[in-house]
């Protein structure tokens, strides 16, 4: 049973990574497709390669994102079997949430779903033996690591605000610098620039999201008695084995190769109609912010950074240039992910605990 449960958890987590590549990675290439810099098939192929490289190279530069995510819940007091069951149920909940969002073409954040799912599952491990009271609720909430969660929330807010601001002012700067240059010339410049910037976004998607999901797999392997000896740490941080990096990178890349035109359309076409230089500004802004956050260990959402950068770019011309109806739908989906996915994970964990 231990082996079966371990395999179920790992397969479900790889499924989450696959779904992330399938539904989240298209955000990175949406503007390159909508501005006609790349065809959808070419953009997806580029994203496949750069998602892989982003995960691989960023793990060499810094693993601080993985460290933050791995410590967001404190579940070591529970039995190893219950911990594994919780992570399996949380992974299942994330797949359900992400697939539903993809079906309706809503670019939700799998990063938010991961955080909400694992947190909801962790809370489900606590048994209210003395009835529901403020003391019991306080004890249950101790399973959440406030320090790690504060970093996650800070990253969410700061990255979104910064991407909007940087996207806004970078667009203004480009318009100022190239105001006397012929449109045909600027189109040639930013045709190449947008391709490079979109590649940077795909790279940073792998760098950010790859570490988040690898952190949970490492947590699983460190919990199971069968694999605990495989895991090593340095100064309290996991050392991510190269085979795991390769497996997770390939899984995300395969998911990306499935494509996600619904998400590309929602992000790159429906919210703001972009020109090539605007697409460059959006991708460059979000890529830079993502790199900074990754380096200092703030787990942020590639979906949030990309879409808020696009909003900033659109607003630089006039606020009405942004389709705020589509933007409102996206923001609502982000907000609902925390309680929605968290609740599904809570209920699935209770169910899985009965089964296993």
- Tell me the average pLDDT of the chain: 83
Q: What is the pLDDT of residue 283?
A: 92
Range of lowest pLDDT (27-36, 145-154, 155-164, 247-256): 27-36
Identify the residue with better confidence: 77 or 237.
77
What's residue 62's pLDDT?
81
Whole-angstrom distance, CA of residue 200 vs CA of residue 203: 5
pTM score > 0.85 for this model? no
With a CB cutoff of 8 Å and minimum separation 6, the contacts of 322 are 271, 272, 311, 314, 315
Q: What is the mean pLDDT of residues 242-267?
A: 74
% pLDDT > 90, the chain? 20
User: Residue 80: what are its φ and ψ, rounded to 5°?
Assistant: -55, -40
Give the separation between CA 269 and CA 290, rounded to whole angstroms: 22
pLDDT in tens, 105-146: 666 677 788 889 999 999 999 887 666 667 777 878 888 888
Residue 312 vs residues 123, 169, 267, 330: alpha-carbon distances, Å: 37, 8, 13, 15
Cα 319 to chain centroid distance, Å, stands at 27
Confidence class of residue 165 from pLDDT cuts 50, 70 and 90?
Answer: very high
pLDDT top residue among 107 and 292: 292
Give the per-residue pLDDT at 46: 86
pLDDT attached to residue 286: 93
Winning range, highest mean pLDDT, from 31-35, 61-65, 176-180: 176-180
Q: Which residue has the higher pLDDT, 1 or 105?
A: 105
Name the residue among 217, 216, 208 with its Cα closest to residue 296: 208
**Whether residue 267 has pLDDT greater than 80:** no
pLDDT of residue 75: 87
Q: Mean of the pLDDT values across residues 199-204?
A: 91
The answer, yes or no, to whether residue 78 has pLDDT greater than 80, is yes
Extents of the domains making up the chain: 2-355
Share of the chain above pLDDT 70, in %: 89
- Taking residue 42's Cβ as centre, other Cβ atoms within 10 Å add up to 14
Average pLDDT for 85-110: 81
Q: What is the pLDDT of residues 3-43, one digit of tens each?
A: 888 888 889 889 888 887 777 666 777 788 878 888 877 88
Separation of alpha carbons 328 and 307, rounded Å: 11
* Statement: residue 197 has pLDDT above 90: yes
Sorted by sequence, the CB contacts under 8 Å of residue 148 that are 6+ apart come out as 68, 69, 71, 72
Residue 199 binned pLDDT confidence (cut-offs 50, 70, 90): very high
The reported pLDDT for the residue numbered 162 is 94
Alpha carbon distance 286, 302 (integer Å): 8
């Amino acid at each position: 049973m231990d082996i079966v449960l371990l395999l179920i958890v790992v397969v479900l987590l790889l499924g989450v990574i696959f779904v992330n590549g399938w539904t989240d990675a298209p955000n990175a290439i949406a503007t390159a497709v909508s501005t006609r810099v790349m065809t959808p098939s070419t953009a997806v192929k580029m994203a496949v390669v750069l998602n892989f490289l982003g995960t691989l190279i960023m793990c060499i530069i810094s693993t601080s994102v993985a460290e933050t995510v791995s410590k967001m819940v404190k579940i070591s007091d529970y039995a190893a079997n219950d911990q594994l069951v919780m992570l399996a149920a949380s992974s299942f909940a994330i797949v359900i949430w992400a697939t539903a969002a993809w079906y309706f073409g809503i670019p939700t954040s799998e990063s938010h779903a991961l955080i909400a799912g694992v947190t909801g599952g962790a809370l489900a491990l606590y048994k209210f033996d003395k009835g529901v009271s403020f003391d019991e609720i306080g004890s249950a909430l101790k399973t959440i690591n406030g320090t790690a969660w504060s970093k996650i929330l800070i990253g969410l807010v700061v990255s979104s605000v910064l991407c909007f601001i940087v996207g806004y002012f970078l667009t203004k700067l480009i318009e100022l610098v190239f105001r006397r240059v012929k449109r045909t010339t600027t189109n040639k410049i930013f045709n190449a620039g947008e391709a490079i910037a979109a590649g940077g976004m795909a790279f940073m998607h792998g760098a950010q999201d790859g570490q988040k999901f690898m952190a949970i797999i490492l947590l699983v392997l460190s919990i199971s008695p069968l694999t605990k000896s495989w895991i090593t740490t340095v100064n309290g941080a996991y050392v991510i084995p190269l085979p795991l990096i390769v497996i997770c990178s390939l899984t995300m890349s395969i998911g990306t190769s499935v494509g996600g035109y619904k998400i590309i359309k929602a992000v790159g076409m429906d919210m703001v109609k972009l020109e090539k230089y605007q697409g460059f500004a959006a991708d460059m802004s979000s890529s830079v912010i993502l790199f900074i956050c990754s380096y200092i260990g703030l787990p942020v959402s590639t979906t949030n950074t990309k879409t808020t950068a696009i909003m900033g770019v659109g607003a630089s011309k006039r606020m009405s240039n942004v389709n705020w109806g589509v933007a409102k739908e996206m923001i609502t989906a982000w907000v609902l992910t925390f309680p929605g996915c968290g609740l599904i994970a809570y209920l699935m964990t209770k169910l899985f605990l009965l089964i296993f």
